[in-house]
Amino acid sequence: MAPGGNRGWLLRLVIAFSFAQGAVSMARPAVSYRALALGADERAIGVIAGVYALLPLFVAVPLGRRTDHGRCAPLLPAGVVLISGGCALSGIADSLWTMAVWSGVMGLGHLCFVIGAQSIVARQSASHEQDRNFGHFTIGASLGQLVGPIAAGALIGGRDMAGTSALALLVAGAGGAVALTSLWRIESRTTAKSRKEQAGRVPVRRILGARGVPAGIFISLAVLSATDILTAYLPVVGEHRGIAPSVIGLLLSLRAAATIACRLVLTPLLRILGRTLLLTVTCLLAALLCAGIALPVPVWALAVMLAVLGFCLGVGQPLSMTTVVQAAPEGARSTALALRLTGNRLGQVAAPASAGLIAGLAGVAAPFVMLGALLLVSAGTALRAPGGPTREVGRRRGMAAILRRKSGI
């Protein structure tokens, strides 16, 4: 399967990612509600949310190294099993520390799946297709983020918060396992064999020194931290403002739906604005909207803010993937993507812990002000990121078409 060939593998990957991400997106708010039912305060919620990213922090780069010189596909079913197991075991845990442990297992499974899947997309996409294919790939994540919170909100509620949140976690585990049914013929064995034959290992310092890699990592960290804290802390905000769990689930899903809409129109947006300007503008708007969530606005205004915020956050992840892949040295793209995911997980450890501390000191809305500041810095970072080949590819294709017409080909 040559880069740019049949894209049936991408559709199957999107379907699998939808179920895997749906399980995680359903489990994250369910974990928060179950922890609250077991007596957790805002700081404990932050610690549990941070543990989700702690274990993956140490294994991302070794997994990336392995993937650079071998097959990606085995990581996908392994990731699904860990996600489903972590969800289900969180549902039967009866203490905060065991919930934290199984939350870490869930995070490890998500990391395995994402490293394998992103590496497949980078490897099997032609250079000019990477923005589009990464955008389509992340639609799978957005679909999961759309359905997961709605399902969690539908199941969680009533007087028995501990019981209903446990049921939601068990359902999330079962739903995640469905992803296994789509994991067939995703990776080309020919491509995997050619990668295995490559020798040499690019030092991490050289990868991080490539222009565009640090910018892509930081933008991804900021955008994912915003998504993660929204998922973990909007239920806490809802509890303090008297918003029902079902409404919070709908609000989170509205944010995800707006992200899907963004990724469906990503290609024309890139043609109009280019990668650098699009990243800068959307990060700046997201910063303002995140800070706005801290205001005591009515539910309808919160819904509008989350919809626009979801559209803006939809740009960062796929374009940061392309930025990192195209800036990384040849033969180290999976490692570069793993470093990007390491940055993500570092943000997922530090941001919830910081959010928990800030929430404990200044109130539950304060973490959203912190997110606004982080996204504001990422907007400045985006200005320094390489603009990418999108416009250049378009110009080259136009010139080639003119030459073909003139030559009669």
Profile the chain (409 residues) by mean pLDDT over runs of 10 residues: 64 93 90 86 78 79 80 88 94 88 91 89 81 85 83 83 90 94 78 51 82 87 84 79 84 86 88 87 92 86 92 88 84 84 79 72 74 87 63 42 42
Dihedral of the CA atoms 348, 11, 13, 100 (nearest 10)? 40
**252 vs 303: CA distance, rounded Å:** 9
- At 401 the pLDDT is 43
- At 51 the pLDDT is 83
- At 288 the pLDDT is 92
**299 vs 45: CA distance, rounded Å:** 23
| CA 135, chain centre distance (Å) | 12
- Inter-helix orientation angle 130-155/299-327, to 10°: 140
C-beta separation of 405 from 302 below 8 A: no
- At 3 the pLDDT is 54
202 token code pair: 């690019």
Place of tokens 């539950």: 364
Dihedral of the CA atoms 165, 168, 173, 178 (nearest 10)? -170
- At 391 the pLDDT is 41
409 token code pair: 């080909």
- At 64 the pLDDT is 83
* Torsion angles phi and psi, residue 41, rounded to 5: -100, -175
**83 vs 176: CA distance, rounded Å:** 7
Q: Whole-model pTM above 0.85?
A: no
**323 vs 124: CA distance, rounded Å:** 16
**353 vs 52: CA distance, rounded Å:** 11
**59 vs 325: CA distance, rounded Å:** 20
C-beta separation of 63 from 115 below 8 A: yes
The residues near 290 (Cβ < 8 Å, ≥ 6 apart) are 226, 309, 368, 369, 371, 372, 375
**353 vs 347: CA distance, rounded Å:** 10
Measure Cα distances from 228 to 145, 150, 313 in Å. Answer: 11, 16, 11
CB atoms closer than 10 angstroms to residue 203: 11
CB atoms closer than 10 angstroms to residue 254: 20
- At 274 the pLDDT is 85
383 token code pair: 């200005």
**257 vs 265: CA distance, rounded Å:** 13
Question: What is the identity of the amino acid at 124?
Answer: Q
**279 vs 313: CA distance, rounded Å:** 9
CB atoms closer than 10 angstroms to residue 8: 11
- At 16 the pLDDT is 94
**99 vs 51: CA distance, rounded Å:** 10
- At 399 the pLDDT is 41
List the alpha helices (DSSP H) in 128-203.
Answer: 130-155, 161-177, 189-196
Residue 361, CB-side half-sphere exposure with 13 Å CA sphere: 7
